[in-house]
Amino acid sequence: MDSFTQTAWLIPLFPFAAFLLLTALGRGYRRAGVMIGSIGSLLALIMSLLVLFERLDPNAVDYSNSYKWIDLGDYTLKVGFEVTNLNALMLVIVTAVSFLVNVYSAGYMKKDERITVFYGYVALFTFAMLGLVLSDNMLVFYIFWELVGVCSFLLVGFWYARPAARAAAKKAFIVTRIGDAGLLLGIIVLFWYMPGHALDFSSIHNVFNEGQSGAITMTITTSIALLLFMGVIGKSGQFPLHVWLPDAMEGPTPISALIHAATMVAAGVFLLARTFDIFEASAAAMHTVAYFGGFTAIFAATVALAQNDIKRILAYSTISQLGYMVMAMGLGSMTGGMFHLFTHAFFKALLFLAAGSVIHAVHTQNIHEMGGLGSKMRITAWTFGIGALSLSGIPPFSGFWSKDAILGTALDEDPFLFAIGLAAAFCTVLYMSRLFFIVFTGKSRVRQPNEVRESGLAMAIPMVVLAVLSVVAGFVETPWNGWLGNWLTGGGEEVHANGFAIVASIAVGVLGIYVGWLMYGRAYREQSPAAARMPWLVQLLERQYYVNEFYNVVIVGTVRWIGKLLHAFDEHVIGGAVRLVGFTAVAGGRVMTRLNNGQTQTYGLTAVIGLVVIIAAIVGRRFW
Amino acid sequence: MSSTFAPMTWHDTLYLAPELILAAMFLILIITDLILPQRVNRSLIGWLTLAGLLVSLGAVIWRMIDMNPSGVSAEEAAKAGQAISLLGASYRVDDYGNLLKIVFLIGTSLIVLMGLGSTQKDDAVTDKAEFYYLLLPATAGAMIMASSGNLVTLYIGLELLSITTYVLVGLRKRSSLSAEAAFKYVVTGGIASAFVLFGMSYLYGVTGSVSLADFGTALPQALTDYKALVYVGFFFLIAGFGIKIAAAPFHAWAPDVYQGAPTPVSAFLAVIAKGAALAAVFRLLYSSAFFVSGGSKDQAGDDVMFALLVIAAVAMLVGTLSALRQKQAKRLLALSGVANAGYLLVPIAVSVTIIHSNNFAEFAFYLVAYLLMNVGAFAVVTVIARATGHEELRGFSGLYYRAPWTAVAMLVFILSLSGLPVTAGFFGKLFILLGAASVKAYWLVAIMAVSTVISYYFYFGIIRQMFLRSNDEAETEIHVPAVTGLVIWICAAATVALGVMPGPLMKWIDMVFTIQGDLFVR
């Protein structure tokens, strides 16, 4: 029986119904709003779990169902959903984090005036994300892909009274649009070359899985893959389009956990997994993907070392971890990428929620104004610690197993990327130690220490649940048990168990914590002695390698300059033409108005003249 | 004559049930209105009118089900689906007529509801009951036009529709604008009737018959004998119907008349009267000009169709261009109706080929879309006119802050009017566009696209007005009467529904309707 699988299309409808209800209710019903949003996502979670259990049956077959939407000539546009093991896993990740964030927000957003609007947006986002996960063809996927972008825009700019929030929302939208343009182009090229213009994932799988004997040439395959990858770069915050993600931290913290850590930013990685066959068919594309991922991993990890805003550190950490996932995909390990996505969703959401709890208590995001919070906020400190250890890749926490799967693959496939991955892992441990020690240990530097207290149950429970998940989620795939890989790929992928990789990553982890403790744990310092010796390096990292400034000067500047040129062209050439057209139209309109002078005899005359002209034109045509 | 004349039997009257119901209801309501004391609210008449329309609608649907049985053999289905021909083929009951009658009846029902919300409270209308019951013969006229099988019935339907609407336009007796509009409508309508009759007389002259069924065989011969007369006949018919359709250059009356008439009557003229005239042209040309078109030699039919395409193109351009400077809501909708008449003429006039044969489905789909968005938009105009006391476009300013849901519904109508997704108007225009493209009429496609783009200018102007806050209108909440609200929401919901899933309706029309069986009168 797979009755739940066949009705999986219901899953996105629960949050959608919640969204409609919340919108209809308006701002009045605060408590009811929270309940509606939470129940919507809870129902989706239950349903997703049921689907997942059905998928665990080794005999489960992929199920897809589509509905003919529109017939346009001989082309039929279809919409539908598909349930595969990959989708089922994503469904559970999305609904689980969404539900927990809903619960958490009941505490975090309690005092916000527009809490119902917030829940409405979250419900809409959850709907869009689930639609994206379930979609069975590229077109529907793209529609939902844009819709999650819109939701992200709305939620980043949720506190629109703050100029920074407005700017960040705009930036997030525009920067990801650059990637989306590539994605759309990729879809169009794909549509053009696919046999029968099919865009559904199973046809894509069939066409590209045949290798190079397929209907599509190598060059085309590579360009499609690279265009699709542009979408990934934008959405999953890969270098060089990562700049929007740290700014997006202007949104409410639960949103950072849900959208900008666990789900939406992972959509890019999910797209890679969904269209993995296209990428696998092109070695060049795979290399590009791997190196972009690897570079992003190390790049963002170093930037995170020098940031002072707790959420920005976590944001750069997210970029870095997404880099790991992308790198894993590029190295051919879909399992590694998805596995890390899976564990990362839990521990990064946990870190954000815990950070939110801290911010809620001390009303600042600057880590130098925190300190010594561990004794006052035990639950937060413990859960944050678990998240940090997991992210740092310390066994037996879940992050260790997934990072190890990626590093193991890297060692086998490309030792250079393994080295980069290892270096990034060291940075990761270091910045997490720095963050943890500065915030939770030592003396308190909080402005109003008496007001600091542990957050309420609504916020604590989701953190604890995520902490438990962060501990146990890693055991689905270990070097001696490739269950997840077998389940996801049908046993097509070998397990990269490598003793050296394990030892190296544990060593790096322990070393990182030790160094971190030496630098930040023993006593609080605004700056570490190492940093004091290299102020330029700190500056470079603090300013995020000046990428934003570079964009401002070079790209925005150039664009502005081109814009000026174009504007001049526009003003004088196009503008002239447009004015001419506009003038003609207006003049035409004026003549029409004159004919419409209110005199009935003119009307009759117009009709007769019209008739004569038409007769003359048509009959006259015969004599030419 | 292809069919011998047979007198009406009692059984035949059953086929005429939808029209007879309207006629009977009309007579009953006139007498009721006379008997009812003055103090009784005339909205009772309105509800009875609505009831009559719905019963008639039921009769049409019942007939359609009867003619399109499901789950029977193909042979039986073909037998049941055969068109019913009455009075020597002068009246036809077929799927073509029935589909259009459904559209007309639903449209008029919505307009009656709109009237219950607006005209009922309009002090300028002194005889409220007349407004309701005159809609019945008008609709019956439209239905007769859709069902007529010869020129005489066609003309009777046309005049029944026209004369009743002359009265309806002038119903706002305390408004000089209304009187002026009625006068202009009578005069222009008279010219139109003259054109139509003149054209008909020539067709009769050259073929010796008034029956559409005979044109197919008689016209080729007539064309060789009296070529010029055939041309004159057709062109006069086109001009006459062009006035009724309000297609440019025969449209000049429309803005004045729509402006002066009670708003529900404007909606009736824009949707039902226009739709009925289009339906008559469709049937008439496919029974006559169609048989002298195509092939290799110069054919008059091709010229007639081409003339229709030219009129369509001119209507689109003139309609949108004149609307650019329009500041009055009903005049704007009238001019947008001129452009839409152009769009609706395209599927009638583009040739039917093997790869492109669902002209009628395109036509009917857009007619439905046009009905929904236009009736909805006129209903919103009644709400705003009531709240602000005028019908200028500036009345829309800040609507979103005064009646948010109405503004959202209006947004749907405007998106549909401008042909943007996800609305019925988008697919309606798209289907027509693809149809024109598939017969390689690219110049027409270009004109459709250009006029659509120009139209964004004034449509988006309304949107901007609605969603921008303004100071010159008091920010009081606007009260929407429940019945008007119902009309607005039915139209908005259906517009969106057809915009999301156009497939079922298109497929159903294609399934029910065949050119051979339902359109040609044989």
Of A589, A596, A611, the CB nearest to B255: A596
Residue A383 belongs to some domain of the structure? yes
Rounded Cα gap, residues A123 and B363, in angstroms: 40
Residue A30 belongs to some domain of the structure? no
Domain that holds residue A602: 549-622
Of A68, A70, A614, the CB nearest to B307: A614
Tokens of B372: 């929904």
Do B322 and A593 lie within an 8 Å CB cutoff? yes
Average pLDDT in chain B: 87
Q: Which chain A residue shows the shortest CA-CA distance from B305?
A: A618
Residues B279-296 have pLDDT tens digits of 999 988 888 877 777 665
Boundary residue ending a domain (A489, A520, A542):
A542
- Rounded to a whole number, what is the distance in Å from the CA of B86 to chain A's nearest CA? 35
Residue A602 belongs to some domain of the structure? yes
Q: Is A69 on the interface with B (CB under 8 A)?
A: yes
Q: Span B71-83, mean pLDDT? A: 75
Q: Is A78 helix (H, G, I), strand (E, B) or coil?
A: strand
Q: Is B311 on the interface with A (CB under 8 A)?
A: yes
- Quote the pLDDT of residue B152: 92
Do A609 and B249 lie within an 8 Å CB cutoff? yes
Beta bridge partners of A135: A81
Interface ipTM: 0.80
- Rounded to a whole number, what is the distance in Å from the CA of B504 to chain A's nearest CA? 9
Q: Based on the fold, state whether residues A389 and A417 are members of the same structural domain.
A: yes
pTM: 0.70
- Quote the pLDDT of residue B344: 93
- Rounded to a whole number, what is the distance in Å from the CA of A599 to chain B's nearest CA? 9
Rounded Cα gap, residues A337 and A330, in angstroms: 9
- Quote the pLDDT of residue A431: 87
- Quote the pLDDT of residue B274: 94
Higher pLDDT, A72 or A224: A224
- Rounded to a whole number, what is the distance in Å from the CA of A591 to chain B's nearest CA? 9
Is the pLDDT assigned to residue B56 strictly greater than 90?
yes
Rounded Cα gap, residues B79 and B82, in angstroms: 5
Q: How many CB pairs under 8 A join A and B?
A: 90
Q: Span A305-318, mean pLDDT? A: 87
What is the band of B489 on the pLDDT scale with cuts at 50, 70, 90?
A: very high
Q: Based on the fold, state whether residues A189 and A336 are members of the same structural domain.
A: yes
Residues B425-465 have pLDDT tens digits of 998 998 898 888 888 888 888 889 888 888 888 888 888 88
Residues A542-563 have pLDDT tens digits of 766 777 777 777 777 777 777 7
Instruction: Note if the bond before B249 is cis, omega within 30 degrees.
Output: yes
Is the pLDDT assigned to residue A622 strictly greater than 80?
no
- Rounded to a whole number, what is the distance in Å from the CA of B231 to chain A's nearest CA? 9
Residue A412 belongs to some domain of the structure? yes
Given its phi and psi angles, is residue A238 left (phi above 0), alpha (psi -120 to 50 degrees) or beta? beta
Chosen for mutation from A615, A619, A622 (greatest number of chain B CBs closer than 10 Å) is: A615
Q: Is B188 on the interface with A (CB under 8 A)?
A: yes
- The H helix count followed by the E strand count for chain A is 28, 2
What is the band of A214 on the pLDDT scale with cuts at 50, 70, 90?
A: low
- Quote the pLDDT of residue B137: 95
Q: Which chain A residue shows the shortest CA-CA distance from B430?
A: A72
Q: A-chain residues within 8 Å CB-CB of B499?
A: none
Q: Is B254 on the interface with A (CB under 8 A)?
A: no
Is the pLDDT assigned to residue B167 strictly greater than 90?
yes
Q: B-chain residues within 8 Å CB-CB of A588?
A: 321
Q: Span A254-259, mean pLDDT? A: 87
Chosen for mutation from B195, B325, B338 (greatest number of chain A CBs closer than 10 Å) is: B325
Q: B-chain residues within 8 Å CB-CB of A617?
A: 310
Q: Based on the fold, state whether residues A417 and A527 are members of the same structural domain.
A: yes
Residue A172 belongs to some domain of the structure? yes
Q: Based on the fold, state whether residues A387 and A513 are members of the same structural domain.
A: yes
Q: Based on the fold, state whether residues A313 and A394 are members of the same structural domain.
A: yes
Residues A158-193 have pLDDT tens digits of 888 888 888 888 888 888 888 888 888 888 888 888
**Which has the minimum average pLDDT: A387-391, B156-160, B373-377?**
A387-391
Q: B-chain residues within 8 Å CB-CB of A584?
A: none
What is the band of B211 on the pLDDT scale with cuts at 50, 70, 90?
A: confident
Is the pLDDT assigned to residue A211 strictly greater than 60?
no
Dihedral sign for Cα atoms in the order B46, B48, B54, B60: negative
Q: Is B504 on the interface with A (CB under 8 A)?
A: no
Q: Is A609 on the interface with B (CB under 8 A)?
A: yes
Q: Which chain A residue shows the shortest CA-CA distance from B455?
A: A585
Instruction: Note if the bond before A240 is cis, omega within 30 degrees.
Output: yes
Higher pLDDT, A379 or A444: A379
Q: Based on the fold, state whether residues A352 and A230 are members of the same structural domain.
A: yes
Give the whole-number percent of chain B exceeding pLDDT 90: 42
What is the band of A111 on the pLDDT scale with cuts at 50, 70, 90?
A: confident
Q: Which chain B residue shows the shortest CA-CA distance from A623?
A: B298
Instruction: Pick the closest to residue A592 from B252, B314, B308 (CA basis).
Output: B252
**Which has the minimum average pLDDT: A349-358, B69-78, B306-315, B381-390?**
B69-78
Q: Which of A102-106, A190-194, B165-169, B474-478 has the highest mean pLDDT?
A: B165-169
Rounded Cα gap, residues A372 and A360, in angstroms: 16
- Quote the pLDDT of residue A591: 72
Number of folded domains that form chain A: 2
Q: A-chain residues within 8 Å CB-CB of B318?
A: 592
Q: Span B212-241, mean pLDDT? A: 86
Boundary residue ending a domain (A542, A565, A592):
A542
Q: Is B187 on the interface with A (CB under 8 A)?
A: yes
B residues 403-432 closer than 8 Å to A (CB): 427, 430
- Quote the pLDDT of residue B280: 93
Q: Based on the fold, state whether residues A602 and A485 are members of the same structural domain.
A: no
A residues 569-588 closer than 8 Å to B (CB): 585-586, 588
| SS3 sequence of B97-146 | HHHHHHHHHHHHHHHHHHHHHCHHHCCCCCCHHHHHHHHHHHHHHHHHHH
Boundary residue ending a domain (A507, A542, A577):
A542
Burial degree of B250 (CB within 10 A; 0-12, 13-18, 19+)? buried
Is the pLDDT assigned to residue A438 strictly greater than 60?
yes
Q: Could you give the residue ranges of the DSSP H alpha helices within A448-498?
A: 457-472, 483-489
What is the band of A528 on the pLDDT scale with cuts at 50, 70, 90?
A: low
Do B322 and A619 lie within an 8 Å CB cutoff? no
Is the pLDDT assigned to residue A396 strictly greater than 50?
yes
Residue A475 belongs to some domain of the structure? yes
**Pairing relation of β-strands A75-83 and A63-72?**
antiparallel
Q: Based on the fold, state whether residues A253 and A284 are members of the same structural domain.
A: yes
| SS3 sequence of A308-368 | CEHHHHHHHHHHHHHHHHHHHHHCCCHHHHHHHHHHHHHHHHHHHHHHHHHHHHHCCCEHH
- Quote the pLDDT of residue B1: 40
Residues A28-56 have pLDDT tens digits of 777 888 888 888 889 889 988 888 888 88
Q: Is A602 on the interface with B (CB under 8 A)?
A: yes
Q: Based on the fold, state whether residues A561 and A512 are members of the same structural domain.
A: no
Q: Is B247 on the interface with A (CB under 8 A)?
A: no
What is the band of B497 on the pLDDT scale with cuts at 50, 70, 90?
A: very high
Higher pLDDT, A607 or B429: B429
- Rounded to a whole number, what is the distance in Å from the CA of A288 to chain B's nearest CA? 38
Q: Based on the fold, state whether residues A477 and A617 are members of the same structural domain.
A: no
- Quote the pLDDT of residue B455: 86
Q: Which chain B residue shows the shortest CA-CA distance from A68?
A: B503
Q: Is A593 on the interface with B (CB under 8 A)?
A: yes
Q: Could you give the residue ranges of the DSSP H alpha helices within A157-306?
A: 163-193, 201-209, 218-235, 244-247, 253-257, 267-274, 276-280, 283-305
Mark B67-90 as b/e (b = at least 16 C-beta within 10 Å): bbeeeeeeeeeeeebebbbbbbbb
Q: Which chain A residue shows the shortest CA-CA distance from B438?
A: A73
Q: Based on the fold, state whether residues A463 and A588 are members of the same structural domain.
A: no
Q: N- to C-terminal Cα distance for chain B?
A: 10
Quickly tell me which residue has 């994503």 as its tokens: A90
Angle formed at CA A337 by CA A333 and CA A340, multiple of 5 degrees: 135
Q: A-chain residues within 8 Å CB-CB of B507?
A: 71
Q: Based on the fold, state whether residues A528 and A595 are members of the same structural domain.
A: no
Rounded Cα gap, residues B222 and B231, in angstroms: 11
Instruction: Pick the closest to residue B254 from B203, B344, B347, B318 (CA basis).
Output: B318
Residue A91 belongs to some domain of the structure? no
Distance set, CA A531 to CA A311, A428, A462 (Å): 21, 17, 37
Rounded Cα gap, residues A551 and A562, in angstroms: 15
Instruction: Note if the bond before A464 is cis, omega within 30 degrees.
Output: no
Of B238, B242, B253, the CB nearest to A603: B253
Rounded Cα gap, residues A53 and A47, in angstroms: 10
Residue A535 belongs to some domain of the structure? yes
**Which has the minimum average pLDDT: A459-473, A591-605, B410-424, B429-443?**
A591-605
- Quote the pLDDT of residue B264: 93
Q: A-chain residues within 8 Å CB-CB of B242?
A: 607, 610
Q: Span A398-420, mean pLDDT? A: 86
Q: Is A161 on the interface with B (CB under 8 A)?
A: no
Q: Which chain A residue shows the shortest CA-CA distance from B318?
A: A592
- Quote the pLDDT of residue B2: 45
